[in-house]
Chain A
Amino acid sequence: MEAHNATDALPVVRRAEALATGVGIMADRDGEGRETLNEYRTRGGYPPLAEPSAIRAAVRAAEVRGAGGAGFPTAVKLDTVAAAPGPRVAVANGEEGEPASAKDRRLLRNRPHLVLDGLRHAAHAVGADTAFVYVSDAEAAASVRQALAELAEDGLGAGATDSAGPDPVGPAGLRLPAFAPTLVEVTPSYVAGEETAVVRALGGDVALPLPKPPRPYEQGVGGRPTLVSNVETLARVALAARGEPGASAGDTVLLTVVAGGDAWVCEAEATAAVAAAVERVRGSVDGVSAVLMGGFAGGIWRPDVLGAAASHDTLRAHGSLLGCGAVILVEDGDCPVAAAADAASFLAASSAGQCGACVRGTHVAAEQLIAIARGVGTAENLALLRRRTAALPGRGNCALPDALAMLLRTLDEHFAAELDAHLAGPCQVCAARVPEQPTTATRFRVRLPHATA
């Protein structure tokens, strides 16, 4: 049966939903289609730049956190790059490697100027003289390209500030450093958005993770201290820098909620339960038997995890991760073991193939789970799965083995009875939906149609 990788069976983003409270990235502009430069400017976009230290202070006060997965405090990153010897580089990272995440693509397609304005503020805040926008989604790239063309036509973009000194005054009265980011398109892959892979790709090399240290903030593109920030993070930097009234830019997060063939991108309050966002878009949290949190990085949980607040700290304290904000609901009639086997299969097949520990370890682990799910596993497979799971963390140049370890460990902890049942007899859902071998064709890959962009 090939249903597990049929494109027409993949979840589709049905709707994007802002918060009714009027705060956040999506609140002040949630129309369909791409926001133009003029539209963005009428909403306060591209304001005069404050002093770098003032921008960093505003980001610190707003408590903006990295929205690419790690949730690292953005102000700390800005301070570190700013303190490193120049010249420096700033990168907007829009390569959304998590298959179940669509929020970055949607943001780039829908509000490219908010991201570019955030990059402009961040570049100024760290004293970067070079900036990149790094994306893989073709429509997101087209949106950014058009936005850059609008800026150039307006006199604010490439070449417009060549003759001016530091912090020149642009034709429209905007104080601009030479802001001419280069758009770089990369072939999509799970690891291509990892920060050292980004740095490597921008340096003309392959988009594969490097060992740390050094981190990009110490030694990045061309050996220069480099700020690599997720595009949602930069959108929040733009909001924080212009002091959006009513709420701080770090008060909300973007989520991608996935349930069966449906998906939604929505903004959520970081102090409210994840369940509140799920109820807004899906109607209720009923009929859910398991939840994959943070895409494939935060493990698989009983539905009560939805009671945790949609914040990095709360979910981490819970033992999970907010990660990129993808929340996958495994509905009644589906099977948590099948869902975990699908994600494990994807992660193993997504290994970049450069670290032996990851190539071997993830494949052996995923193969044990696939055997158990498909009804041909024994207690030996389960024992090997457990041993491999314990050995996975910390053995690769990136966190892919750690993500798989979290998934397998939480499956064992929270769904032990289901695993035992699969050892005892075949599961129809798994027989139909779990691939025979690791494959990148996950059934949780969210499609973002043009109509919702």
Chain B
Amino acid sequence: MKVRIDAARCEGRGYCSRFAPALFETDDDGYPRILVTDDLDDEQLADARTAVSACPEQAISLHD
């Protein structure tokens, strides 16, 4: 599984980097970039799922 951000939905609230700092880093305005673009391992997948549920804009999703 890979993690994906819909940048058009993102409002830069920064929950993703707070809950999964190994997967996301944010710029000066709080907008994220994905740090792991390959398939996620189990630990990363668990972190990604936390970020998916934490994002208030539902901008994060997981894809095969």
**Residues on A facing B (Cβ under 8 Å):** 208, 210-214, 354-358, 360-361, 364, 387-388, 391, 393-397
Contact = CB atoms under 8 A, between A and B. Distances in A.
18 contacts: A208-B8, A210-B6, A212-B4, A213-B4, A213-B63, A354-B8, A355-B7, A356-B7, A356-B11, A356-B31, A357-B12, A357-B31, A361-B27, A394-B33, A395-B31, A395-B33, A396-B7, A397-B7
Given A356-B11, A356-B12, A394-B34, A211 B29 contact: no
Contact of B7 (A214, A357, A393): A357
A358 B28 contact: no
A357 B29 contact: yes
Most chain A beta-carbon neighbours within 10 Å: one of B5, B11, B28, B31: B31
Q: Is the interface of A mostly helix, strand, loop or mixed?
A: loop
A395 B28 contact: no
Contacts of A356: 7, 10-12, 29, 31
* CB-CB nearest 10 A-B residue pairs: A357-B31, A355-B7, A391-B27, A354-B8, A211-B6, A394-B33, A397-B7, A213-B63, A360-B29, A396-B7
A395 B32 contact: yes
A276 to B, nearest CB: 37
A397 B34 CA distance: 12
B2 interface: yes
Interface in B5-37: 5-8, 10-12, 27-29, 31-34
Interface in B45-64: 63
Contacts of A212: 4
Given A210-B6, A211-B4, 7 more contacts: A356-B10, A357-B7, A357-B29, A357-B31, A391-B27, A395-B31, A397-B7
A395 B8 contact: no
A357 B32 CA distance: 8
